[in-house]
């Protein structure tokens, strides 16, 4: 029997070869990260501006929250199509289209004469954003070696979670000395720069294939996600007497369309022609991690819409103070995300997500104690704990979910995870505003003054969020390491 002698230098050379990104991919990922950070920043940038917009545009909180909810709702409607879009169209075509749409929406919002046009601008922005996020995730999954995925997904977590977290801070700084239009005017040259750089630098790195877009699936997807989010958001407007349609109608319509959408996709995926292939849900690791991401993002976006209203309407802080107060939490997310990615590469998800889930739930329960007498340092501390907890959850969960899939399902898995994030964010925003509005209205009927009534409404919303977070405390114990792929395994054999 012949003994196989392994030279350690050969092993190291193989490791470097496997760990190295293909030519042009590193540059593409860097541009995708920067561009996606820019577009995702816009999801929550209107939160701090909402009180001022309510006065200038003469709208209610339930109406104004559509500037955030419609953004995420549009993404939830468009993203299910991105799995098929990424299969059919080139990297360059998708990137240029996405940044063009975002630039056009930013320009429209900057010149909007009123709420309706501003809302349309936000929707056009969201169409571009919806294409960029899955493109980034699919590119990373396809080209980044498994040994480096945790670190790279940590950078994606900065984009997906930190950008929305610092949106209120950026908005507060702008609103302190400029009007709300400047939020978009200052964003416009950055959007144009991303578009120009994409035209110059982005090359095609993926293979395309002929894909048929199933029109009934597109319609069912739009009705399903649109109906559910519209119905949830309409509950708040109905409680204030501003809704002309009973929320029950869109909720029932959305639920029925969602059931039909799922049924149709399970039929179409047998011939690999589904708009959104749902086979990733057959993998338990993917399903558990995706549900936990949904809970986490719902908590993040619900908090980001509630805290500015609480800080300004209850604690009487201005927009700049509110934005600066929320900055430490955003910084905590940004600082911890790459560190958590490295820990994931070394230890896997469980040692990170279990303490993260307990800290997330604890922070939300602490927020139920916020009232008129709460000190600013207390709010900062609780918000930082919440953001730190999310940092310990998002990177491991997304990496585990997508890393558990075969390569052929990467684009559809990315679309599912990103759709879940946006749906959760939109639902979290809508439910928190709805519960706050109904709680405030009830408190006013009970004779409380407006400030105390607002504090009571915020308390009601945070109690609901805290109760939902208990589900994550249970589910994290079912998270498992994704299976390692043979292609990325380094073994000392020749």
- Domain boundaries in the chain? 19-488
Average pLDDT over residues 17-46: 74
Average pLDDT over residues 335-359: 86
- Tell which residue, 231, 225, 248, has the closest CA to residue 130: 225
Write down the pLDDT at residue 8.
Answer: 38
pTM above 0.75, yes or no: no
Q: Report residue 92 as tokens.
A: 């360059």
| Angle between helical axes of 25-41 and 91-110 (0-180°, round to 10) | 20
The correct answer on CATH 1.20.1250.20 for the domain covering 19-488 is yes
Distance CA(169)–CA(99), nearest Å, equals 24
pLDDT at residue 16 is higher than 60 = no
259-284 tens-digit pLDDT: 999 999 888 888 877 888 888 888 88
Average pLDDT value for the chain? 79
192-220 tens-digit pLDDT: 998 998 888 877 766 666 667 778 888 89
Write down the pLDDT at residue 244.
Answer: 63
Distance CA(207)–CA(414), nearest Å, equals 17
Q: Phi then psi for 371, rounded to 5 degrees?
A: -150, -165
Write down the pLDDT at residue 237.
Answer: 60
Q: Quick one: which H or E segment has residue 192?
A: helix 187-201
Residue with the bigger pLDDT between 216 and 79: it is: 216
* Integer CA distances (angstroms), 102 to 95, 106, 111, 128, 163, in order: 11, 6, 15, 5, 16
- Tell which residue, 364, 397, 362, 2, has the closest CA to residue 160: 397
pLDDT at residue 13 is higher than 50 = no
Distance CA(175)–CA(162), nearest Å, equals 20
- Which of the residue ranges 306-315, 335-344, 372-381 has the most confident prediction, judged by mean pLDDT? 372-381
The residues near 155 (Cβ < 8 Å, ≥ 6 apart) are 33, 337, 338, 341
Distance CA(90)–CA(321), nearest Å, equals 44
**Cα atoms found within 13 Å of the Cα of residue 220, Cβ hemisphere only:** 19
Angle at 333 between CA 328 and CA 337, to 5 degrees: 150
In contact, 300 and 165? CB cutoff 8 Å: yes
81-121 tens-digit pLDDT: 877 787 778 888 888 999 999 999 999 999 988 888 999 99
pLDDT at residue 494 is higher than 60 = no
The residues near 22 (Cβ < 8 Å, ≥ 6 apart) are 143, 205
Max CA-CA distance within the chain?
91
Q: Quick one: which H or E segment has residue 437?
A: helix 410-445
Q: Report residue 44 as tokens.
A: 């929550």
Write down the pLDDT at residue 236.
Answer: 57
pLDDT at residue 240 is higher than 80 = no
413-449 tens-digit pLDDT: 887 887 777 778 777 877 888 888 888 888 888 888 8
User: pLDDT category, 19, cuts 50, 70, 90?
Assistant: low
Q: What 3-state class would DSSP assign to 30?
A: helix
Mapping DSSP onto H, E and C, the string for 98-123 reads HHHHHHHHHHHHHCCCCHHHHHHHHH
Q: Report residue 197 as tokens.
A: 């750089």
Distance CA(172)–CA(321), nearest Å, equals 7
Asked which of 139-143, 342-346, 412-416, 448-452 is least confident by mean pLDDT, the reply is 139-143
- Tell which residue, 43, 57, 42, 46, has the closest CA to residue 319: 46
User: pLDDT category, 484, cuts 50, 70, 90?
Assistant: low
Beta strands in 274-370 (DSSP E): none
User: pLDDT category, 491, cuts 50, 70, 90?
Assistant: very low
- The phi-psi region of residue 210 (left if phi > 0; otherwise alpha if psi is between -120 and 50; otherwise beta) is beta
357-402 tens-digit pLDDT: 999 999 999 999 988 888 989 999 999 999 889 889 888 888 888 8
Write down the pLDDT at residue 242.
Answer: 57
User: pLDDT category, 17, cuts 50, 70, 90?
Assistant: very low
């Amino acid at each position: 029997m012949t003994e196989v002698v392994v030279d350690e230098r050969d092993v190291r050379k193989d490791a470097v070869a496997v760990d190295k990104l293909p030519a042009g991919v590193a540059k593409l990922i860097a541009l995708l990260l920067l561009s996606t950070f820019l577009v995702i920043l816009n999801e929550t940038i209107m939160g701090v501006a909402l009180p001022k917009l309510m006065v200038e545009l003469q709208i209610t909180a339930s109406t104004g929250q559509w500037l955030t909810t419609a953004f995420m709702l549009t993404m939830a409607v468009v993203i299910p199509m991105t799995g098929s879009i990424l299969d059919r169209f080139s990297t360059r075509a998708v990137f240029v289209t996405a940044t063009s749409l975002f630039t056009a929406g930013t320009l429209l919002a900057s010149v909007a004469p009123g709420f309706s046009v501003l809302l349309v601008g936000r929707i056009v922005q969201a169409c571009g954003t919806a294409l960029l996020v899955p493109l980034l995730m699919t590119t990373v999954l396809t080209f980044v070696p498994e040994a480096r995925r945790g670190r790279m997904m940590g950078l994606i977590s900065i984009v997906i979670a930190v950008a929305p977290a610092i949106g209120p801070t950026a908005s507060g700084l702008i609103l302190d000395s400029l009007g709300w239009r400047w939020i978009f005017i200052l964003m416009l040259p950055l959007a144009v720069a991303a578009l120009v750089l994409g035209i110059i630098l982005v090359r095609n790195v993926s293979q395309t294939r002929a894909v048929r877009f199933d029109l009934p699936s597109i319609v069912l997807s739009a009705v399903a996600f649109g109906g559910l989010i519209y119905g949830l958001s309409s509950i708040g407007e109905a409680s204030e007497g501003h809704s002309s349609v009973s929320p029950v109608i869109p909720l029932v319509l959305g639920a029925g369309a969602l059931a039909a959408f799922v049924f149709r996709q399970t039929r179409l995926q047998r011939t690999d022609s589904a708009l959104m292939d749902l086979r990733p849900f057959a993998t338990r690791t993917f399903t558990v991690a995706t549900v936990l991401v949904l809970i986490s993002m719902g908590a993040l976006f619900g908090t980001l819409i509630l805290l500015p209203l609480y800080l300004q309407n209850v604690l009487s802080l201005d927009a700049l103070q509110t934005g600066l107060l929320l900055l430490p939490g955003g910084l905590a997310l940004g600082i911890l995300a790459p560190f958590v990615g490295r820990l994931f590469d070394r230890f896997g998800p469980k040692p990170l997500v279990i303490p993260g889930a307990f800290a997330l739930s604890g922070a939300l329960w602490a927020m139920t104690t916020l009232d008129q007498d709460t000190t600013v340092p207390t709010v900062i501390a609780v918000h930082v704990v919440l953001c730190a907890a999310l940092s310990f959850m998002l990177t491991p969960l997304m990496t585990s979910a997508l890393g558990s899939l075969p390569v052929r399902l990467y684009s559809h898995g990315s679309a599912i995870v990103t759709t879940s994030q946006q749906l959760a964010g939109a639902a979290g925003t809508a439910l928190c505003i709805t519960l706050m509005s109904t709680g405030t209205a009830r408190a006013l009927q009970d004779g409380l003054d407006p400030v105390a009534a607002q504090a009571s409404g915020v308390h009601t919303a945070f109690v609901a969020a805290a109760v939902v977070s208990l589900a994550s405390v249970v589910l994290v114990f079912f998270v498992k390491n994704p299976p390692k792929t043979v292609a990325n395994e380094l073994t000392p054999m020749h």
